[in-house]
Structure 1
């Protein structure tokens, strides 16, 4: 049995990427985190290496996964704060004031593969991620609860030639380079945009950086994408084109299936309603998912 702080520091490195962030989140010093890391690697007979900036474990993790299950049960029973990861655009709603009983991660992981992995392996307890790339009902481990729905639109820098077009079409937009993330980051979004001749100007970004995303669209003739929430979070310096993408987005909460009806999760859903309500009231194009409202009795 590994003590709670020891595994917190070890998994904190996998989740938050750096010892300085582990200290910010848990108050465990960098030196102590280093010592706990070595202890866990020896105990579970594992190795650890960086891959594209993320820590990955090498070896048989079956014993570690069983240990994590015990620690996760302790968190859901209130012995330690639960762990929530989110998108960069939802983080401002969740960080001030802090969510009671939850620790919020860096909210900057790009792509669903890494976040789903952290959730499946019990490193984190819940995840707010963007629609439409949610786990389906066929997923044996994860359940998705859509929270809000909102349209996606194109954004460009002030003065971009597309802003002066009298007739704007998808074909006209496809004449310009359009932002793209690494292959497979958001499979459904990527598939939809590629089918329109978009998603052409790749950005290598495992963790969100404004200068590599919105910043590219501000400084070049690159077409970007936005939502009501992302524009608020990034500073609202880009111009919205009068043409929506033919698919919607939104935010959804993802959790392991066995905790989908846990009282702590239900309390979180009610609090998320309170946090998102001003956004819904202030943006006519943003609305709560009807299933979410039914879930919280609204």
Structure 2
């Protein structure tokens, strides 16, 4: 509340709530002579949100003022608690959407590795490559394709410099718009701080998940005899797993932010952003795999065995 001291003496204000459901009001603000300012009292009330009658009294150095107290009405509002359950959207939507964003374009690329114009027979798919078993693999979606190397994207190729960086930027932009301090106050009002806490944790979690993407490239590298036993190249499996991780971090953040804000507009924008990310992934992943597999240095016929 705002109070004004029109006396020549310093005064001390006290708040007394007559409702038994409220505890003792803590705080005895002092006001200098002929000054005004905001004064704050802290108390804990139960049994509903209805307004409570109270009295504000003042005491000066010369004794009680006249009138000794002023009747006021205390309006109550519930304290918003962070909705940590919103973080489950990383699992409920982040996981399935990340798989949808990676698995279909990978299978499409396996069926048409050299372009969209024609399907390729299995035995023709990866001819003349160092990690290609004789006679090809059956069926065409054989999981052993995941271990194949991608020499077209060299060892210094950065996953963060590829499509993943744009995906992370899109999620960060969405979060900035809906979780900025001023804009969030305007959108959700008194619950802004609780909402901001959930979004901040989600953003930190997303940063950690996206940041781990390049680690999976190294984990899935394989050593080949013709490379001196050194794991030089990234593999198909490494690129796919890293892509799943990045999409998990971004889509999880989008829908966690939407759930925390809890407005229809936020859900609509999150869905639109997620759809755009999926389309981007469907377009970029086959291009990345084609570049890695056929981009250079893969037409020399060699026959070697691979090991972890």
TM-score by length of 2: 0.23
Higher strand share goes to which structure?
A: 1
Higher helix share goes to which structure?
A: 2
The structure having more radius of gyration, on CA atoms, is 2
TM-score by length of 1: 0.23
